[in-house]
Structure 1
Amino acid sequence: MKLPPLKALPVFEAVARLNSFSLAADELAVSQSAVSHQIKQLEKYLGEPLFSRGGRSLSLTDQGRQYLDAVSSALLQIERASEQLVGHEEARIRLSVFSSFAVRWLVPRLPDLKRLHPQLDLALEMSSGNPVLSDRVADCFITVKPTSPAFSYELLYEERLFPVCSQDYWQKIRRELSLEEVSGDPASMSLTPAMVAEYPLLSTYSIYDRQGGDWEAWYREAGLDLPRSSRLLHSSHMLLSLEAARFHQGIALTNDYMLSTRKDSGDFVRLPCHSVMTGDIFYFAWKTSRRRERGIQLLRRWLVSEAINSGLRPEEVSQ
C-alpha cells in the first residue's frame, strides 16, 4: 500500500479549513515553519500544488479542493472508527438543514431525539438555500437536490402548498363572503380562486425564485392566470409570510411541515380550496462511504420515522 506522508494530512486539512498557516500552527500546537514543511512535503509527494500563495492571501488550487474532499472524509472516518473502538459512545453529527424546516418541524422534535438517543450529539447548520454536499459543510444534509453520486438519499417529504390565514381573518372572510357550513361541516364550504383573489396574497419569493411565483403556480393549478387585480405582499421567506398571516394581514401559501408540529399551528386555518405540488422533494442525504457510521444511521431512521408519524411521508415509498 503506497500512502502519502500521513503526518501531513491533518496539517493540510487544518490549513485548508482555517485558510491560514499560522492559525493551523496554533491549533496543532506546532511552529508555522513545521506546518509549511509538512505542506511542502505533501505537495512534493503529490506532484501538485495544493495552495495558491499570493502575498498575504492563501487559497486552495483546484487540485487542493479535490484532495481536501477526499482527505476530510477519510480523516473523519478514522476519527469515528477510533472513537467507537475505544468505547466512546457519543456520536457527534453535523446536520445541514433548511431554516424553515429546522425551525417549524425539526427543532420542536429534538427533545424526543435526545430522549431516544442520548448518545447522539446533533449540531445544526442552518442553510437558506440548498446546501453544498460536502464533509466540509456537514456530516449529513436535508436537501432537495439529490444530484451527487457520492451520496445516498432517503425520501422525507414531497412539498405541496396550500392557502392559510389566521382564525380571525377566516371569520372575516366567512362574514364578508357569506360562507356558511352545511350541518356544521367545515368541509362543506369552499373558496373559489376568484374569492381568494379578493384578499391580500402573502407571497414567498424563495419558493420559485421570483416575486409572485408561488401564487402564479397555485392559480395555474386551477387552469387560471393570477388575476391582475391581486394585491401581493412579498416576503423573502415562508416563515415571514406565515407570521404575516398570523397577524391577520392576508392569505399565505404554506406547506405541511410548517404546520405539523408547533403549538401555534392552531392559530391558522387551512382554507377549503386546492393545493399545488412545488416539485421540491426533501431528502435526508449522507455520504455513501460513511453509510456504516452508527450516528448517521440512527439519525436517518429517526427522521424517517418522524416524517411518517407526522404525515409528511407515506409508510411505503418507491425510490
Structure 2
Amino acid sequence: MKLPPLKSLPVFEAVARLNSFSQAANELHISQSAISHHIKALEDYLGEQLFFRLGRKLELTSEGKAYLDQVSSSLNQIARASESIKGETEARLRLAVYSSFAVYWLIPRLHKLKRQHPNLDLTIEMTFSEPELSDRTADCFITIDKEKRGFDFEWFYTERLFPVCSQSLLQDMISTLEVKTKQELEIKLKQQPELIAQFPLITSYSMYESYAEDWRRWFAEEDREMPAETTFHRFSHLMLAHEAAIHSLGIALVNDYMFNETQPQDGLVKLPCSTHTSSDSFYIAYKHSRRHEPALQVLRRWLRSELNELTPPSSMNVISG
C-alpha cells in the first residue's frame, strides 16, 4: 500500500477548512513555513496543485476540493475508530438543520438530549437553504433531499401547513365577518374559505421559491381560486413569516413544528381552516458507511423518539443513496 505523506494530511485539511495558512499554523501549533512545507510535499506527491494562491487569497483547486472530501472523511473515520477503541462511545457530532426547524423544534428539546446522553457533544450547524451533504459540512443532516450516492435517508416528517394569526387579528376577523364567536367563524370559513383573503396574508419565498405560491396551493386544496385583490406581506423565509403573524401583520401559513396547538406559546391562534400537505418531506441523512457509529445511532434514535408532536410515519423508511 503506497500512502501519501501522512503528516501532511491533517495540515491540508486544516488549511482547506480555515482557508488560511496562518490560521492553520495557529490551530496545529506549528510554524507557517512548516505548513507551506507540508502542502508542497503533498502537492509534489500527488502531482497536482491543491490551492490557488492569489496574494493573500487562498482557494482550493477542483482537484483540491475532490481530495478534501475524501481526506476529511478518512480523518474523521480514523478519529472515531480511535475514540471507540478508547471506550468513548459517544463523541462529537455535527447536525445540520434548517434555521426554522432549529429555532422552533430542536433547540427547545436539546436539554432532554443532554440529560439523556451527557457524553454526546453536539454542534448545531444552521442553514437557510439546502446544505451540501458532505462530511465537511456536518455528520448528520435534517434535509428535504432524499438522494445522494453513498448516503442513507430516513423519513422524518412530512410538512403540513395551516393558517394562523394573532389574537387581535382573530377579533378583527370576527368583527369584520359579522360573527360572534370562533365557532361561528369556523362555520363561515368552512363554507366560504375565500373570505380569509379579506385580510392581509403573509407569504414566504423559501417554501416554493415563489411568493404567494404557498397560499395559491392552499386555496387550490380548498377548491377555490385565490382572489386577485389579495393583499400580501412578503418575507424570504418561513421563520420571518411566523414572526410577522405574531405581530399582527396578517395571516400566515406555518407548519407543525412551529406551532403547538395544545400548548401555544407565541400568542398565535390556529384558524378553523383546512391543512395543506406540502410536497416536502424531511429526512435524517447520513453516510451509509457511518450508519453503525454509536454517536450517530444515539442521535438518530433520539430524533425519532421526539417525533410525538409531529405526524409519525406508519413505518421507518430508510433509503440508501
Structure 1 and Structure 2 fold alike (TM over 0.5):
yes
Is 1:22 aligned to residue 22 of structure 2?
yes
Q: 2:159 touches 2:281 (CA, 8 Å); kept in 1?
A: yes
Q: Deviations over 1:144-193 (max 9, x none)?
A: 112321211111111121111123322332333244679x7997664433
Q: Secondary structure at the residue paired with 1:195? A: helix
Residue identity matched to 1:217: R
Q: Which moved more, 1:119-128 or 1:50-59?
A: 50-59
Residue identity matched to 1:33: S
Q: How does 1:1-319 map to 2 (within 5 A)?
A: 1-179=1-179, 190-191=189-190, 192-260=192-260, 264-265=264-265, 267-307=267-307, 309-318=308-317
CA distance in 1, matches of 2:314, 2:116: 21
Q: Return the offset for 1:40.
A: 1.9
CA distance in 2, matches of 1:100, 1:296: 22
Q: Where do 5+ consecutive residues of structure 1 fail to align?
A: none
CA distance in 2, matches of 1:189, 1:231: 21
Residues 317 and 138 of structure 1: is their aligned pair in 2 closer, same or farther, counting only changes over 3 Å? closer
Q: Return the offset for 1:208.
A: 1.6
Q: Return the offset for 1:140.
A: 1.2
Residues 186 and 87 of structure 1: is their aligned pair in 2 closer, same or farther, counting only changes over 3 Å? farther
Residues 117 and 185 of structure 1: is their aligned pair in 2 closer, same or farther, counting only changes over 3 Å? farther
Q: Which moved more, 1:57-66 or 1:233-242?
A: 233-242
CA distance in 2, matches of 1:62, 1:12: 14
Residue identity matched to 1:221: E
Residues 262 and 238 of structure 1: is their aligned pair in 2 closer, same or farther, counting only changes over 3 Å? farther
Q: Return the offset for 1:292.
A: 2.0
CA distance in 2, matches of 1:185, 1:234: 30
Residue identity matched to 2:315: E
Number of aligned residue pairs: 317
Residues 176 and 96 of structure 1: is their aligned pair in 2 closer, same or farther, counting only changes over 3 Å? same
Residues 92 and 185 of structure 1: is their aligned pair in 2 closer, same or farther, counting only changes over 3 Å? farther
Q: Which moved more, 1:286-295 or 1:261-270?
A: 261-270
Percent identity reads: 51
Q: Deviations over 1:270-289 (max 9, x none)?
A: 22222222211111111222
Q: Secondary structure at the residue paired with 1:126? A: strand
Give the TM-score taking structure 1 as reference length. Answer: 0.91
Q: Which moved more, 1:12-21 or 1:254-263?
A: 254-263
Q: Secondary structure at the residue paired with 2:207? A: helix
Q: Return the offset for 1:112.
A: 1.0
Q: Return the offset for 1:261.
A: 8.6
Residue identity matched to 2:312: R
What value does the CA root-mean-square deviation take over the aligned residues? 2.3
